[in-house]
Amino acid sequence: MRELSSIVKAYDIRGLVGTELDEELVTAFGAAFARLVRADSPAVVIGMDMRDSSPGLATAFADGVRAQGVDVISIGLASTDMLYFASGKLSLPGAMFTASHNPARYNGIKLCRAGAAPIGQDSGLDTIAAEVTAGVPDHEGEQGTLTERDMLADYAAHLRGMVPELARSRPLSVVVDAGNGMGGHTVPSVFDGLPVDVRPMYFELDGTFPNHEANPLDPKNIVDLQAKVRELGADAGLAFDGDADRCFVVDERGEPVSPSAITALVATRELAKATAAGEQSPTVIHNLITSKAVPEIVAEHGGTPVRTRVGHSFIKEAMAETGAIFGGEHSAHYYFRDFWRADTGMLAALHVLAALGTQATPLSELTGGYDRYAASGEINSTVTDQRDRMRAVREAFATRPGVQVDELDGLTVQLPEGAWFNLRPSNTEPLLRLNVEAADVPAVRALTDEVLAIVRG
């Protein structure tokens, strides 16, 4: 069997269809996955995105699962969070065929255990890859069955039920850019019957992404959404990525709302619900790149903020360990305890609209209180000597009076006046990623320039 290191990532399997990822290989992955989970689960649930290659790959994976005597429940077209819903609701392991926002020639597999528990390299993916490389043993018993099940209506009803106050909202006008991804499949059902006038953009399912890349964190991919919000005078805009597990928000002016502000806003709502139910100091998880406003606001609302490394496996692990009610990342991933600790941008969007719908003020005013500081965004620098550059940055700042340094994930430096930055290496490319936050834009620029002078010097 071929070398798999190029396609087996930290949290999923992903590669070029036809050269790195084909149906024969995916059948072997399905068989190995079935062997990993069959002791605890009689069946596996499989979903797929709109890419041309997804049906064939999903069928091949199902064949591998069934060949090991494990049944398959196919939910067909789905967003990634809809697959997590199915895994949680049915208490079954799951496989989602998607490459998120990657170009059309790519595809991949996201795997989870029953209850949407993540599978990464340290929690089963390495075992699967090793077995595929060695050759998956044949199963001597009967083949598993295949059942098709439509979960879209159940998924939509479940999400609406988690934010019941949205049904009582004032009428809202919201532009939604699905980027030709799975949001075009799920949004109509989720918003059905709600007092939200959805103005659709690029809802046609098309894995070639003819209008723009389905990655809303890249500013160029929300330009159309911003223009349409301004043109229509809408209350808000939502942009989903290709598999619709991430959601990015723009306000009534067409201005982006930072994922940190969304994290803080949703956290206050989840904290209010938890404390009303009698929970004491509920925990909220945030990664170390989110604004320092997030832990401040969580503490102000009676919660306990817990800081983690970047990456959904670290967020989910921390949520499981602490019983956290909610978690948020700077990348617009939002995790909910009551959604099997899985991430769902759709549920975060419903929370934002519910908060907006209970007041007469615009979204910019609502979110402004959660957006306390200026930030640089993530700045990438191509360097071949990552360790040396990081060491040089550490030495330049660590000896200054009042400076605090930690290495939870890369290098984080907190300055006495309140500004901070994080510098961390990419796991897959010769890059250093810099994030800076300070009181205002000039301070951000000054600190950014100082750090980059060392990194790129």
Structure confidence at residue 405 (pLDDT): 98
Report helix angle 152-162 to 345-357, nearest 10: 40
Rounded CA-CA distance 26/35 in Å is: 14
**Burial group, residue 285, by CB count within 10 angstroms (0-12, 13-18, 19+):** buried
C-alpha to C-alpha distances, 343 to 48, 117, 223, 262, 348, nearest whole angstrom: 17, 11, 25, 14, 9
Rounded CA-CA distance 69/225 in Å is: 47
Structure confidence at residue 294 (pLDDT): 99
Rounded CA-CA distance 340/46 in Å is: 17
Question: Which domains does the chain possess?
Answer: 13-150 (3.40.120.10), 154-162+172-254 (3.40.120.10), 259-368 (3.40.120.10), 374-455 (3.30.310.50)
Rounded CA-CA distance 198/200 in Å is: 6
Mode of pairing for the β-strands spanning 196-201 and 172-177: parallel
Model confidence at 101, pLDDT cuts 50, 70, 90, reads confident
Overall size of the chain counted in residues: 457
| pTM, to two decimals | 0.95
Structure confidence at residue 312 (pLDDT): 82
Phi, psi of 222 (to 5 degrees): -115, 10
List the structure tokens of 102.
């990657």
pLDDT digits (tens, 9 = 90+) for 370-415: 999 999 999 999 999 999 999 999 999 999 999 999 999 999 999 9
Rounded CA-CA distance 188/76 in Å is: 17
Name the β-bridge partners of 433: 380, 424
Average pLDDT over residues 10-28: 96
pLDDT digits (tens, 9 = 90+) for 332-381: 999 999 999 999 999 999 999 999 999 999 999 999 999 999 999 999 99
Model confidence at 1, pLDDT cuts 50, 70, 90, reads low
Catalytic one of 53, 54, 100, 169: 100
Active site residue 5: no
Tell me the average pLDDT of the chain: 97
| Dihedral of alpha carbons 79, 45, 160, 324, sign | negative
> Which residue would you say has higher pLDDT here, 3 or 165?
165
Structure confidence at residue 142 (pLDDT): 97
